[in-house]
Amino acid sequence: MESCNCIEPQWPADELLMRYQYISDFFIALAYFSIPLELIYFVKKSAVFPYRWVLVQFGAFIVLCGATHLINLWTFTMHSRTVAIVMTAAKVLTAAVSCATALMLVHIIPDLLSVKTRELFLKNKAAELDREMGLIRTQEETGRHVRMLTHEIRSTLDRHTILKTTLVELGRTLALEECALWMPTRSGVELQLSYTLRHQNPVGFTVPIQLPVINQVFSTNRAVKISPNSPVAKLRPSGKYMQGEVVAVRVPLLHLSNFQINDWPELSTKRYALMVLMLPSDSARQWHVHELELVEVVADQVAVALSHAAILEESMRARDLLMEQNVALDLARREAETAVCARNDFLAVMNHEMRTPMHAIIALSSLLQETELTPEQRLMVETILKSSNLLATLINDVLDLSRLEDGSLQLDIEPFDLHGLFKEVLNLIKPIASVKKLFVTLSMSSDLPEYAIGDEKRLMQIMLNVVGNAVKFSREGGISISASVAKSDSLRDPRAPDFFPVFSDNHFYLRVQVKDTGSGISPQDIPKLFTKFAQSQSLAAKNSGGSGLGLAICKRFVNLMDGYIWLESEGLGKGCTAIFMVKLGLRGRSNEAAPIHVQSPCKSWTNNFTGLKVIVMDDNGVSRMVTKGLLVHLGCDVATVSSGDECLKVVNNEHKVVFMDVSIPGIDIYAVAVRIHEKFARRRDRPLIVALTGNTDRVTKESCMRVGMDGVILKPVSVDKMRSVLSELLDHGVLLEAQ
């Protein structure tokens, strides 16, 4: 039998010791086997474990160690060589694997340690981010508070509300104990306590503005921590507790003038208010940065809101002022209108009142002239006549001028005989000129139309004035008058820079030149000639009569006729030339439709109206009967109607004339006229329409003409008037003049 190579124990194997060793080895083996199992199990469970290979190694190492201890179990008793070999193999393997593992661990453990470090680092980072998040949230809160505050402040335009709201909201947001606003006084040397949060009515505490602490606050736009003992902060009676921290900030008070385009308000404001904020006294609160920022932002917003309020106040004040001015202007205008009305009334009355006696004087004096008089008496009567004529002219001139001044004068535009007008002027002036032994010549150009449309009377007045002046100021020689049609090149005269003639087919410009060989006028005096009442010395000496109004009136008449008048003279003693141009209408080419004959030309109805069928429309029975009687007396066959509808029903093409009373209320006479026009398409069939009315003012006349009436007659109508009206109507088909 082979004996084992085990070393014989020195002492006999103790049964107990061997047993314990046996058990321990068993448990060790068990543990060694179970650890890798646990490891595998848990690693399998975890998703991330980068060191599998290490694990395998480790596992192998442990398993082998376990195996070794297990095999050891058999070596406590007599064991065979196989067991010894297995034991040896196991030990060898175990040694190899453990060494390998040991070598591997050298690489791995630093890695593992660094993982730990990174983990720590990340944890720190996370903590930091958390802190920052907290900060951002706080800032956002602040921002929200500011927005809300701003909204509150800006929702009102009233100064006091703005300031009060600011304090209240700030107090609430920041949980302040006290919040106060110090406003600069008018004089600017003191700050006055204007608003506080807790005290309802701050009694006017004032502090001088030049305190160092105040200057410190005013010099920066940041919120500044100030000592609770400074005069601006001593608002509460000093308590037993520690006063909380105090912060002050400036509030710029902006004025309208501060808002320049290129100039930001900071640079130009001079006045500041002081806002003082106090934290609650017995808390350990401190002013945080974000709170200070909030305060600064609010202070700025308040400034803006205040300036808006100021602008609003300003504009309201301006508007009130404007309204007052408007009212005053309105009043003034009405007063002026009343004055003008009063003046016009006065003039109208005086017109009549002054002219009547004048006429009487002139008429009676001329009659007196016709009687038998002694030479002395004759002289006296002549003087009376001359003076009263002068006076009459003066009265007329003044009244005319005042009417011209306020533009109430209207030209009477009618067709007239132009050639005839000149001839008449000539006839009027020749006797006077011949007395002074002056010659008068008239030359009319060949293209001067025979008839023109304009205000004949006033044109005559202008002519007489101009020619009369020429005669007046000439001692010898003569007057030459020339009339022509102005050509376009001669119209734009350098001497008449303001005159812009407009050409049209219906009008022409009459150019009249009156040249005299008289005393002339010095060039300086020429502009003065047209101003009323102005007379130069030299003129006055020679001028025994005349008020100086003549040329002024002429100028105004010429202007009314869209024309221009001016005088030329080469100097004293060299004569004078007066030139004027006026716009006149051309006859035959104007817009007024020329009347055409309606009746058959052979029969002349002029004095024989027998059987003439007419209609009389009048709602007043008496008036109707009278008009009918009138027409029946003249031989007409009269049908009477009392309304527009009846008239339209009755009228037919046998009726030659329809007389309509225009004063019928409620009936639109003009509409009836239009309907009659419509009813009779051809002009030959249509009866003539004549309006009977109580007033012949322009408006009525024009309205009647506009709707196509053929004439207007003023009531009351006499037999003779009716007779002439009828004859004119039937001869010419239209009444040219209102009768």
Of 311, 460, 586, 626, which lies in the binding site for another protein, with binding defined by CB under 8 A?
A: 626
Of 110, 204, 588, 621, which lies in the binding site for another protein, with binding defined by CB under 8 A?
A: 621
Nearest approach in angstroms of CB 713 to another protein is 14
Q: Which two tokens mark 459?
A: 């044109």
Q: Which stretch binds another protein (CB under 8 A): 388-396, 448-456, 491-499, 615-623?
A: 615-623
Rank residues 379 and 625 by Cβ distance to another protein and give the closer one: 625
Tell me the torsion sign for CA atoms 479, 480, 484, 489: negative
Rank residues 418 and 692 by Cβ distance to another protein and give the closer one: 692
Under a CB-based contact definition with an 8 Å cutoff, are residues 705 and 683 in contact?
no
Q: Which stretch binds another protein (CB under 8 A): 17-25, 299-307, 357-365, 626-634?
A: 626-634
Element (H, E) at 194: strand 190-196
Rank residues 190 and 619 by Cβ distance to another protein and give the closer one: 619
Rank residues 212 and 665 by Cβ distance to another protein and give the closer one: 665
Does 620 bind another protein (CB under 8 A)? Our answer is yes
Q: Which two tokens mark 391?
A: 């006076």
Rank residues 340 and 625 by Cβ distance to another protein and give the closer one: 625
Number of residues that bind another protein (CB under 8 A): 19
Nearest approach in angstroms of CB 687 to another protein is 23
Q: Listing from the earlier edge strand, what are the strands of the sheet with 272-278?
A: 206-208, 190-196, 178-184, 272-278, 246-252, 224-226
Q: What distance in Å separates the CA atoms of residue 406 and residue 217, rounded to the nearest whole number?
A: 69
Cα 674 to Cα 643, 700, 718, distances in angstroms: 15, 16, 28
Nearest approach in angstroms of CB 727 to another protein is 18
Of 633, 649, 684, 706, which lies in the binding site for another protein, with binding defined by CB under 8 A?
A: 633
Nearest approach in angstroms of CB 364 to another protein is 25
Does 629 bind another protein (CB under 8 A)? Our answer is yes
For the annotated binding site, the residues are 65, 69, 469-472, 516, 532, 547, 551
Does 188 bind another protein (CB under 8 A)? Our answer is no
Nearest approach in angstroms of CB 712 to another protein is 17
Is 399 strand, coil or helix?
A: helix
Does 611 bind another protein (CB under 8 A)? Our answer is no
Nearest approach in angstroms of CB 721 to another protein is 9
For the annotated binding site for Cu cation, the residues are 65, 69
**Which residue's entry shows tokens 């006149």?**
584
Does 719 bind another protein (CB under 8 A)? Our answer is yes
Q: Which two tokens mark 231?
A: 């005069």
CA proximity to 735, closest of 709, 717, 716, 715? 709
Rank residues 528 and 721 by Cβ distance to another protein and give the closer one: 721
Does 724 bind another protein (CB under 8 A)? Our answer is no
Cα 346 to Cα 349, 401, 404, 578, 674, distances in angstroms: 5, 15, 16, 35, 41
Does 113 bind another protein (CB under 8 A)? Our answer is no
Does 723 bind another protein (CB under 8 A)? Our answer is no
Q: Which stretch binds another protein (CB under 8 A): 173-181, 351-359, 387-395, 713-721?
A: 713-721
Q: What distance in Å separates the CA atoms of residue 356 and residue 358, rounded to the nearest whole number?
A: 5
Of 341, 363, 625, 671, which lies in the binding site for another protein, with binding defined by CB under 8 A?
A: 625
Rank residues 589 and 633 by Cβ distance to another protein and give the closer one: 633
Of 137, 570, 716, 731, which lies in the binding site for another protein, with binding defined by CB under 8 A?
A: 716
CA proximity to 500, closest of 423, 559, 452? 559
Kindly write out the interface string for residues 121-160 of this chain, putting x where it contacts another protein by CB under 8 A and - elsewhere: ----------------------------------------
Does 345 bind another protein (CB under 8 A)? Our answer is no
Contacts of 551 (CB under 8 A, 6+ apart): 465, 469, 529, 530
Is 447 strand, coil or helix?
A: coil
Contacts of 687 (CB under 8 A, 6+ apart): 614, 615, 651, 653, 655, 656, 657, 658, 676, 680
Is 270 strand, coil or helix?
A: coil
Nearest approach in angstroms of CB 632 to another protein is 7
Contacts of 428 (CB under 8 A, 6+ apart): 464
Does 718 bind another protein (CB under 8 A)? Our answer is yes
Rank residues 152 and 619 by Cβ distance to another protein and give the closer one: 619
Rank residues 462 and 690 by Cβ distance to another protein and give the closer one: 690
Q: Which stretch binds another protein (CB under 8 A): 142-150, 205-213, 590-598, 619-627?
A: 619-627
Element (H, E) at 300: helix 289-370
Element (H, E) at 614: strand 613-617
Kindly write out the interface string for residues 430-449 of this chain, putting x where it contacts another protein by CB under 8 A and - elsewhere: --------------------
Q: Which two tokens mark 294?
A: 């909030």
CA proximity to 258, closest of 295, 307, 324? 307
Does 663 bind another protein (CB under 8 A)? Our answer is yes
Q: Exposure of 497 by Cβ count < 10 A (0-12 exposed, 13-18 middle, 19+ buried)?
A: exposed
Nearest approach in angstroms of CB 643 to another protein is 14
Instruction: Tell me the helix, strand and coil percentages in the chain, rounded to 5.
Output: 55, 15, 35
Contacts of 374 (CB under 8 A, 6+ apart): none
Does 623 bind another protein (CB under 8 A)? Our answer is yes
Rank residues 288 and 633 by Cβ distance to another protein and give the closer one: 633
Backbone angles phi, psi at 682, to 5 degrees: -90, 140
Nearest approach in angstroms of CB 720 to another protein is 9
Does 715 bind another protein (CB under 8 A)? Our answer is yes
Of 92, 632, 671, 736, which lies in the binding site for another protein, with binding defined by CB under 8 A?
A: 632
Write out the E strands in 547-636.
564-569, 576-586, 613-617
Does 607 bind another protein (CB under 8 A)? Our answer is no
Nearest approach in angstroms of CB 542 to another protein is 52
Of 293, 493, 562, 619, which lies in the binding site for another protein, with binding defined by CB under 8 A?
A: 619
Rank residues 582 and 614 by Cβ distance to another protein and give the closer one: 614
CA proximity to 264, closest of 215, 222, 303? 303
CB atoms within 10 A of CB 414: 13
Q: Angle at Cα 453 formed by Cα 441 and Cα 715, nearest 5°?
A: 125
Kindly write out the interface string for residues 205-224 of this chain, putting x where it contacts another protein by CB under 8 A and - elsewhere: --------------------
Element (H, E) at 434: helix 418-435
Nearest approach in angstroms of CB 663 to another protein is 7
The residues with which 509 forms a beta bridge, in sequence order, are 583
CA proximity to 693, closest of 664, 663, 670? 663
Under a CB-based contact definition with an 8 Å cutoff, are residues 549 and 469 in contact?
no
Does 595 bind another protein (CB under 8 A)? Our answer is no
User: Do you find a cis peptide bond into 237, omega within 30 degrees of 0?
Assistant: no
Of 614, 630, 691, 707, which lies in the binding site for another protein, with binding defined by CB under 8 A?
A: 630
Rank residues 260 and 620 by Cβ distance to another protein and give the closer one: 620
Under a CB-based contact definition with an 8 Å cutoff, are residues 206 and 192 in contact?
yes
Q: Which stretch binds another protein (CB under 8 A): 37-45, 246-254, 593-601, 627-635?
A: 627-635
Residues forming the site for another protein (CB under 8 A): 619-623, 625-627, 629-630, 632-633, 663, 665, 715-719
